[in-house]
Chain A
């Protein structure tokens, strides 16, 4: 029923992680060998090791936006840094376009970063001595592009992130949101296939954060990058992700689409996150619709399968008959009825009340 399952991915994944471990400590690798793949955090901690990432395996396909969500210390940033090889994973395999980056030498790695990867940082990490334009042109210049071409290209990026007129400012003269726009522009300057974002909006005020998320969605709708995005904000994850990986103590607790995570949390930990999520704001009709059986009596309206429940709830709840759900081409792909909506939105609370009454 998930969207991801319905889109066939015959192509090779862009990023593939295979049993990736990252353990900090002096004798981490020898301990890991002895542990035979079963890592208990407590045992390692006794030996003075800290488990950062514990057996992470997943694929990310071209154009997909995977969000790694977790609280601080859950290992989400460590996992991201393993995949960008800012730190070396203790064990496992990480393939980028089929090549194991853990086996790459420094030169290959630099080549990879110069051509395929871009990264945005939580605290922007702009170079304080360079202007906006110079910061954006920086990855191009270290690659060896000449000044004129790199500045021209950087100027395009300035336009892309809406900073025209501020290209000669220094980072310290910009607001947080503007600085992060520079960070985004810099990470996109080399036209990377893979885009890493490490809590890019966490250091921003709520309103700016919302604005930057919109900006991010706009960019992604134009660029279609393969994205690995780290955040501790569950709402942000729900809002942006194609799929979400929820991490706790280095372990991926659940990896699924936002709708599936909200509707079917795999563990108690995940359920706690989903409890207070306003479902009508998160779920799309397609993730709650019933299958369509021909000859069913339907009302005169239709709804788009990609519509968020909130936006069509009034219409559905006021209708006496089930409503047809159609895709972009106008074909009916399912039906939705008022009782189903009521159940999805309020059903999980019902159970609680029953228990309370006892």
Chain B
């Protein structure tokens, strides 16, 4: 009997489900029963964090600081002083780029004073006409990758300008242009450090895992406490959020290189610095570039959220539009954000692929072709802006800047389109919405909330045990225990319910669609392009269409999650199926399998470990979307995190809530990854 059990994991699973069911059935809800809910033993923890942070910020290690306003030394806590200086520095950089494009006085004020700037109204940075910036960006695109990219950049910039989003878009851009390079630099440094030192790698690994799953919101709160609110705080939160993937991919890329590459560099006489900068990093370029790409994506995903702590730009406008249910306006702004994301993405890729031609003997004009082109654009643009004063006498010089909301707008059409959909499909949509909420979502939610804590533990730890033995069971148990001891177990169950429903559907969609698309080369290419494109969209964008169709309901959130989270499931399925070795396929063909047999007996078993990693990503995507769904209005952990954002003492709560979300993700990650690795080992993959 026991040996039978050891051999058949499915039997173990059945037994586990039976126990789970019995526990579910026999333990009644009651406040005193420890088997039903654990006491919130960790409720002191958020307060402790609050106290520690305020001590750190306001009392610890006071130093004397000279205050020029009162011309005296003053005692200030060192941490606060450090964060203040750092904030000032970052803010200056952002303002500098911003004023380079849009004009202003703040940069000049930094080097003089407000009084002086007010007294000398001529001392004002003029800003560039939009035509010059757009033209410059287009030339950059041309210089890096020729006409195609130039066209893309030019059209995108024109769209942004003509639709009257120039000013907020440039504010956003200035913020991304500081945050993204900083993230890339820091990520690269840490990645290299971890590559050089095993100890650093061991320390960084769990931190990176955690950082990837903790929701964006949770970063905002401590940043707000340490750095206040404003563009700099948004930039810092963005850097913190965008750096981990860069570290991870740098490390991955460097580790993938064989020893010969490093050896060839050493034998060429490289110093260790040359080895790193000229041999290792460029050779690992592919992975590092994916990292850069991810950083840009994360930065733009943060654009909207950073506006919650005061970052200016498109984010705040989008937030306002969404809050007012102005779908048309939101769509226009959303497109701007996506365009910026795509343009930056392509430009950075093209930049990394540039090459030098050593032999062409160029004339001066050819050598400085691009600079000369820019000079021409610069002069023409300024001339046009000057002429514009006479063409548009009523005050808006469209050739200098298209003022906010004074551009073309198709918002009205979009809005009427939305209204039309509402009018036409009202009953269908409403019917579907109600059916889904009442017959599916509410029931699942009820079931999740009706689970005694002991049943949840048994199920999750049981699965962990069956998959990976006692070690995995204890690890996932520890993650659950942390959540169970906070006051938010029920909220966590709601998060888990939203996530489970969506992951289930996403997984099914992803695997089915992925399998269908992997059948021929054309559809494979199509679906991979689809994944690439949709992955560039900041997660927030997905909320726009679903809110349009389903209003402020759980349905909207669930559907947004499903659309967003099926991307990794799709991609990993296609990749997994494509990576099945040709010899195995041939062996199958010669054994005479038909299409379905091939899929069931060869392709699926071989690719399933990879697909499982895709599901793992799906979970991460789903969790981040669930939390962002709080913006639409859910009643899970995300809503509480959003709430603590506006709470003076929200740091502790926000952080612990974030860790709770991360614990859910990490528990699932632990199980799926262990299983996938075991299967890979068993199948001799890698």
Contacts and interface: CB of A to CB of B under 8 A. Distances in A.
B260 A138 contact: no
Nearest to B268: A139
Contact of A127 (B274, B283, B355, B358): B283
A125 interface: yes
B362 to A, nearest CB: 14
A164 to B, nearest CB: 13
Given A122-B260, A123-B258, A142-B278, A131 B268 contact: no
Chain A contact patch, size range: 20 to 34
B263 A86 contact: yes
18 contacts: A84-B267, A106-B272, A114-B269, A117-B267, A121-B264, A125-B263, A126-B264, A127-B282, A128-B285, A129-B282, A131-B355, A138-B278, A147-B358, A151-B358, A168-B357, A186-B264, A187-B267, A196-B267
Contacts of A106: 272
Nearest to B267: A119
Given A123-B258, A127-B282, A139 B269 contact: yes
A106 B273 CA distance: 12
Contacts of B283: 127-129
A123 B262 CA distance: 12
B202 interface: no
Nearest to B266: A86
B628 interface: no
Contacts of A118: 267
A121 B264 CA distance: 7
B279 interface: yes
B93 to A, nearest CB: 30
Interface of A: 81, 84, 86, 106, 110-111, 113-115, 117-119, 121-123, 125-131, 133, 138-139, 142-143, 147, 151, 168, 186-187, 190, 196
Given A114-B269, A129-B282, A131-B355, A142 B274 contact: yes
B250 to A, nearest CB: 16
B264 A119 contact: yes
Chain B contact patch, size range: 20 to 34
Nearest to B272: A106
Contacts of B274: 142
A248 to B, nearest CB: 23
A142 B264 contact: no
A186 B264 CA distance: 10
A187 B258 CA distance: 19
A272 B272 CA distance: 44
With a 10 A CB-CB cut-off, give which of A131, A142, A187 has the most chain B CB atoms. Answer: A142
Chain B binding site: helix, strand, loop or mixed by DSSP?
helix
Contacts of A125: 258, 260-261, 263-264
Contacts of A147: 358
B270 interface: yes
Contacts of A187: 267
Contacts, number: 69
B111 to A, nearest CB: 39
Contact of B279 (A110, A113, A127, A143): A127
Contacts of B258: 123, 125
Contact of A142 (B261, B269, B282, B357): B269
B439 interface: no
A186 B269 CA distance: 12
B210 to A, nearest CB: 32
A126 B263 CA distance: 11
Nearest to A186: B268
A86 B265 CA distance: 11
A7 to B, nearest CB: 29
A97 B260 CA distance: 26
Contacts of B32: none
B267 A129 contact: no
A121 B268 contact: no
A113 B266 contact: yes
B271 interface: yes
Given A121-B264, A142-B270, A196-B267, 15 more contacts: A86-B266, A106-B272, A110-B270, A113-B267, A113-B268, A115-B269, A118-B267, A119-B263, A125-B263, A126-B264, A127-B264, A129-B283, A139-B269, A142-B269, A147-B358
Interface in B198-256: none
What 6 pairs between A and B have smallest CB-CB spacing?
A114-B269, A125-B264, A139-B268, A125-B260, A119-B267, A113-B269
A277 B267 CA distance: 35
A238 B272 CA distance: 38
With a 10 A CB-CB cut-off, give which of B258, B260, B283, B355 has the most chain A CB atoms. Answer: B260
A130 B285 CA distance: 12
Nearest to B285: A129
With a 10 A CB-CB cut-off, give which of A129, A147, A190 has the most chain B CB atoms. Answer: A129
Contact of B260 (A84, A123, A168): A123
A72 B357 CA distance: 42
A106 B279 CA distance: 18
A143 B269 contact: yes
A81 B358 CA distance: 35
Contacts of B271: 110, 142
With a 10 A CB-CB cut-off, give which of A128, A133, A151, A186 has the most chain B CB atoms. Answer: A128
Interface in B379-433: none
